[in-house]
Structure 1
Amino acid sequence: MIPFSPPYVDQDVIDEVVDSLKSGWITTGPKVKTLEQKIGEFVGVPNVLCVNSWTSGMMLMLRWFGVGEGDEVIVPAYTYSATALSVMNIGAVPVMVDVKDDFNIDVDKIREAITEKTKVIVPVDIAGWPCDYDAINAVVKEPAVIGKFRPANDLQQKLSRIAVMADAAHSIGAQYKGNTCGSLTDVTIFSLHAVKNVTTAEGGAIALNLPEPFDNKELYDFLRVFSLNGQTKDAFTKTKAGGWRYDIVSQGLKVNMPDVCAAIGLVQIQKYDVQLLQERRRVFEHYNQLFSRFPWAILPPYKDNATLSSCHIYALRINNISEEQRDAIIENISSRQIAVNVHFVPMPLLSLFKNKGYDIRDYPGAYQQYKGEISLPIYPQLSHEQVETVANAVIQAYDKIVC
């Protein structure tokens, strides 16, 4: 059996977790702070806040920015549901737009979707391939777009335009035109979920990169409090002798990351650039080599000039097949004890969103990418021989189902 995406857990990870357990402190404390610093060093953004999931991180930032009832947030139709659910969970409306053939949000569609109610744009780096951030950042600064912006509070007035908050759940370690993901937009939120390139079992990391006159260190300090129910001291600080007194200064959320989870990510982020990411690229490139000779195989975007994927998902597409044929190919591969996946079912195909009036016919690009997509296993532990086994299973399944 070849699993789809097991977490990378070596003895160093185990030792770090055991160290946390033996320390007598397992919730938010020194390991979380160190992990924040290490992620910040890696992505080139000094102020990073770790939380308990990508979803709660996005909810935290939308709430901080004052997004709520009646506001609109632009998201791609082709993404995991959390992108839209984080918007809905604070009372705002996700405005879905279509994607291009690299899976990522169509910038022209963003411009068309902007209204006076738009407060935030959430581009998503599908599979670890960065969006066109130069174009997106240019759109929100166009005079006509700025003219539509209606600030509803002091923070929105301070920015004086639509905020760009990147969904970089897949793209830690990716580069866009020579710049590292995390430094490309006002806010970038990474996922540290169990299947991600760097994991804390469950978790997320918010990279703060707001322009002047914002003070990102000051914002980090506020969000640290805001993520702990608005409490001025975390539990670690309160347990120190004489440190019991605290205050509640804002109506925050309870979304902090515990140290016992941070321990896993702390080891992984220190091995990521020199080992784990390189191994993911090895697997990605091997798949490319094996599939490049087949005209029916559409290879996922990997690198282009100074842009480079994080190789989170190997999103292979089969050219000119139906959704039903794709499903049959997956069933055939699975019968060989190889786990594959689909990233993603476009949100307008899901019952929750269909029942709210979203219609897949309005997003032909999203459906086109989805109907032929098969996500193949890609992780550091995959051997050369296992990659070839997966590729051969796909090729044989295609020959049986389509030819």
Structure 2
Amino acid sequence: MSDAPVQETAGPIRFPITRTCPFAIPETYERLREEEPVSRVEMSDGRHAWMLTRHADVRAALVDPRLGSDRSDPGYPSISSGGKSAFAHFAPFMISLDGPAHSAARSPVISEFSMRRVNTLRPRIQEIVDEAIDKILELPRPVDLVQHLALIVPRLVITERIGASPDYLERFYALAAGMLQRSTTGEERDAIAREMRANMDRLVAEKEADPGDDLLSREIARQRAETGDVDRPGLASLAQLLLLAGHESTSEMISLGIATLLTHPEQLARMVADPSRTPAVIEELLRYFSVVEIGMGRVATEDVELGGVRIKAGEGVIASNVAANHDPRAFPDPDVFDPDRDARQHVAQGYGPHQCLGRNLARVELQTVFDTLFRRIPGLRLAVGVEELPFKYDALVHGLRELPVTW
């Protein structure tokens, strides 16, 4: 794309590596995977970490108990400026815990995101999608599907799941947008984290005073029954994690998925004619884009060998899902969007103990949006050329700023 930034190649390789094309991964990943699959990269704070770029190495790392997830560890790879100080405002997040501590934090809420529980949410998700499309059909064209669909559906679904009122939406996601910009300074990120923590403390207090039929209320009741007390800092961290993780990646996948299908009309026509194909389309989209590059850092808790390289205790490791999902050893012709392939071994949502808690919910949201949108607006098309679409090259999660369409 003509307005995409150019990734520097001279000097040390810096991470995150900027994408220069929305539908292809940076050449740096390809080169490293073939020449130096376990390579040194420089993080935003000047420290170095090891980056894994082969699918087999990434999956092995994500299940290795010698690689920890503690984001407060000095060796943990800092993805963005001020990242560690921002985390300090919260009790340890579930994604920062390992072993028994991680199981203790994850086990009480895992049933909230089981396929069985998610299936009970399908009617409500369908209502949210239909209501959004009803409004879209009333708007003057072209319509921006980022603002009027991709942002709306995941936000409403996850806020209803945890019991947050609409009052939290606008401010929380404005703060989240700032947190996920690569250009945000350490001081700005720290201030954002402080305000987010204050908001989450207020939310937990409100659920204690006025419980409802939602995840936070059930967690408060469970903790009171089991211990006689409520872990308010822990619940604030849980709410923060779910609101952020349960929205951003799914939102970006909705807009990127729509754009991709509109530029692959044959695949779109096959999906519309046979909705049983939609799950395979979703798996391929998840693999193809791998929008989240920032959640698969680790730190070695003891010496470990990966891909033939000895990594010392205390050194940081980045398991690159972007590179792994485009490894031709695992996915032939990886740069081709091909829903006929079996993409289920992708690591777009992690792998192993820390695999995305909300992956079932995300898939149902994506399936509902794609099946409903293209059925209800069969003449949908891009209102601008694909080369004019504003992609998020400067964000920590890949996506689109706008998706103007007409019909």
Verify same fold: TM over 0.5: no
**TMscore range, shorter length:** under 0.3
* TM-score, scaled to structure 2: 0.27
* TM-score, scaled to structure 1: 0.27
- Structure with the higher fraction of residues in strand conformation: 1
- Structure with the higher fraction of residues in helix conformation: 2
